[in-house]
């Protein structure tokens, strides 16, 4: 018999650094158990923000799915930026086509794209909104 789902949450933690706190307080799970499991699974991704889809069941057990790092974080890292532009018309950096493809390939499992070209267009759109010019693409 399948368990009854009580709640599905989308949250983010730094890899290997999840701690019991407000983000998990409303979930109704054993926070230390989740934190240990999350930290063990993400220790190889240190420094990265990891989105998580947390499914909580009626018996207070849980499952979680790790997603890829946010595209904006990856673009900032690739361009060596601390912060994106406050206005998308302002250009703060340039992203090479190679880096764009690398990010798109990494993000592909979490994107709603059929092929790598579609994924690259999605990532390029995120970059443009951040004020990052993408080399090799027509604006």
The CATH number that applies at residue 76 is 1.10.10.250
- Is 0.85 topped by the overall pTM? no
Range of the domain at 121: 71-134
The predicted pLDDT at position 1 comes to 53
Q: Do 75 and 60 belong to one domain?
A: no
Calculate ∠ Cα 57-60-62, nearest 5°: 60
Please write the tens of the pLDDT for every residue from 17-72: 888 888 888 888 888 898 999 999 998 888 888 999 999 888 888 999 999 989 98
- Whole-angstrom Cα distance, residue 18 to residue 40? 10
Structural domain count, the chain: 2
């Amino acid at each position: 018999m399948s368990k009854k789902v009580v709640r599905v949450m989308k949250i983010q933690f730094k890899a290997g650094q999840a701690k019991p706190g407000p983000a998990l307080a409303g979930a109704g799970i054993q926070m230390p158990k989740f934190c240990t499991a999350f930290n063990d699974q993400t220790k190889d991704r240190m420094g990265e923000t990891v989105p998580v889809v947390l499914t909580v069941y009626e018996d207070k057990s849980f499952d979680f799915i790790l997603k890829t790092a946010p595209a904006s974080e990856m673009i900032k890292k690739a361009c060596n930026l601390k912060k994106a532009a406050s206005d998308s018309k302002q250009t703060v950096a340039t992203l090479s086509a190679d880096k764009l493809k690398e990010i798109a390939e990494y993000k592909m499992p979490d994107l709603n794209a059929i092929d790598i070209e579609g994924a690259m267009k999605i990532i390029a759109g995120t970059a443009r909104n951040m004020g990052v010019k993408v080399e090799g693409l027509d604006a």
